[in-house]
């Protein structure tokens, strides 16, 4: 589980490199190097490969971890720790560190003179909020932790949890119906003047599904073992489903409610979640010095990595004439090299460490 978590975090870093320059209409980033389909940007295929499953997988792992932690600590102590680790970086951290991400997120608007008459204090708040970026994950995770305490109170004798542990591999695969049902909670026609777009961005009702499945189903050793034994057919099925999905939809906005709510996207996303859990259970249930370091550090690396992408990616696109392939190469090397370095620096500054990482 630890290995799967940090490997998935590294995939998030790689995803954001490609996402930052995408030209498929995906919200965020700075845009591609020409309109689609005139400039196909086949490297964007990485978004289609990863987006349907890597964040749901992180929520499954978070649900499993929550179960293990609540077996060791009281609900009060656990939620207090979650608040410090998740809510503090997701709120206070915006004003201490992530306003810098917001600076580059709003830079295009600033170049157009949008903020010329805005007071500095107001502009700072706008930059802080705009710097949320990947922190949506920990904000939603804190909210789901609160929901879990309520749900857990309804199953205080663990009857439902015990019953879930009896699921066979067929029922485990069939749980993909819940995955699909969660995708149906997205708002198909978001109203511009409402919070519909924000709800589609955060997707709390959808992510509640894998989080609770992690807690109730995949926290059982016997369930993990069944998935581990079936990882090869699961992976083969996922590859076939993903190939058909990508081959028939490349060029579409793969984060739109219509795309995400399609049965084929849900099938591929769910099979990949199961396949990755099974693969790592079967083949990567061991550690070494590097894996141990990444287990300790991947959360902090996730928190800070987008500043590297937003700052360097913006500067190269706006102020240089570098060919696109070199921008991707430079940004990839930079995010994998500088993010751990940035994390190591910040975690050594006492008060800032608490604000940005929620660490004492």
For residue 167, is it left (φ>0), alpha (ψ between -120 and 50) or beta?
beta
What distance in Å separates the CA atoms of residue 21 and residue 29, rounded to the nearest whole number?
A: 6
> How is residue 215 written in tokens?
């807690």
pLDDT in tens, 285-298: 999 999 999 999 99
Nearest residue to 134 via CA among 81, 201, 77, 80: 201
pLDDT in tens, 138-168: 999 999 999 999 999 999 999 999 999 999 9
Query: Where is 96: in which H helix or E strand?
Result: none
* Matching residue, tokens 């997701």: 90
Give residue 44's pLDDT: 98
Quick check: 55 pLDDT over 80? yes
Give residue 193's pLDDT: 80
Instruction: Assess contact for 202 and 136: CB atoms under 8 A.
Output: yes
**281: phi then psi, degrees, rounded to nearest 5:** -65, -40
Give the dihedral sign, CA 174/268/132/110. negative
Q: Which residues contact 49 (CB under 8 A, 6 or more apart)?
A: 242, 246
Q: Give the pLDDT band of residue 114 (cuts 50, 70, 90).
A: confident
Give residue 295's pLDDT: 97
What distance in Å separates the CA atoms of residue 311 and residue 293, rounded to the nearest whole number?
A: 26
pTM of the model: 0.97
Torsion of CA 266, 268, 269, 275, to 10 degrees: 140
Residue 254 is given by DSSP the state T
Instruction: Assess contact for 4 and 276: CB atoms under 8 A.
Output: yes
Quick check: 173 pLDDT over 80? yes
């Amino acid at each position: 589980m630890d290995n799967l978590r940090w490997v998935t975090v590294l995939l998030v870093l790689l995803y954001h490199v490609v996402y930052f320059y995408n030209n498929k209409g995906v919200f965020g980033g700075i845009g591609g190097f020409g309109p689609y389909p005139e400039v196909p940007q086949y490297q964007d295929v990485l978004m289609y490969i990863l987006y349907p499953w890597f964040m749901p997988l992180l929520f499954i792992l978070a649900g499993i971890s929550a179960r293990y932690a609540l077996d060791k600590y009281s609900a009060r102590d656990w939620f207090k720790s979650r608040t410090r680790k998740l809510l503090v970086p997701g709120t206070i951290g915006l004003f201490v560190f992530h306003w810098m991400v917001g600076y580059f997120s709003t830079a295009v608007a600033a170049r157009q003179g949008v903020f010329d008459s805005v007071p500095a204090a107001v502009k700072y708040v706008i930059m802080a909020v705009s710097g949320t970026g990947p922190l949506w994950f920990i904000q939603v995770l804190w909210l789901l932790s609160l929901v879990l305490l309520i749900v857990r109170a309804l199953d205080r004798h663990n009857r439902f949890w015990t019953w879930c542990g009896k699921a066979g591999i067929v029922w485990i695969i069939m749980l993909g119906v819940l995955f699909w049902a969660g995708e149906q909670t997205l708002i198909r026609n978001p109203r511009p003047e409402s919070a519909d777009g924000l709800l589609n961005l955060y997707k709390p009702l959808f992510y509640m599904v894998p989080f609770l499945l992690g807690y109730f189903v995949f926290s059982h050793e016997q369930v993990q073992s069944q998935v581990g034994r079936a990882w090869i057919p699961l992976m083969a099925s996922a590859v076939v489903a993903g190939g058909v999905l990508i081959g028939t939809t490349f060029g579409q906005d793969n984060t739109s409610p219509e795309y995400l709510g399609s049965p084929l996207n849900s099938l591929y996303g769910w099979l990949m979640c199961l396949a990755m859990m099974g693969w790592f259970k079967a083949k990567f249930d061991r550690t070494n010095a590097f894996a141990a370091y990444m287990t300790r550090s991947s959360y902090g690396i996730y928190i800070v990595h987008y500043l590297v992408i937003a700052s360097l990616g913006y500067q190269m696109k706006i102020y240089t004439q570098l060919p696109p392939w070199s921008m991707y190469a430079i940004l990839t090397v930079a995010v994998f090299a500088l993010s751990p370095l940035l994390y190591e620096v910040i975690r050594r500054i006492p008060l800032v460490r608490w604000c940005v990482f929620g660490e004492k």
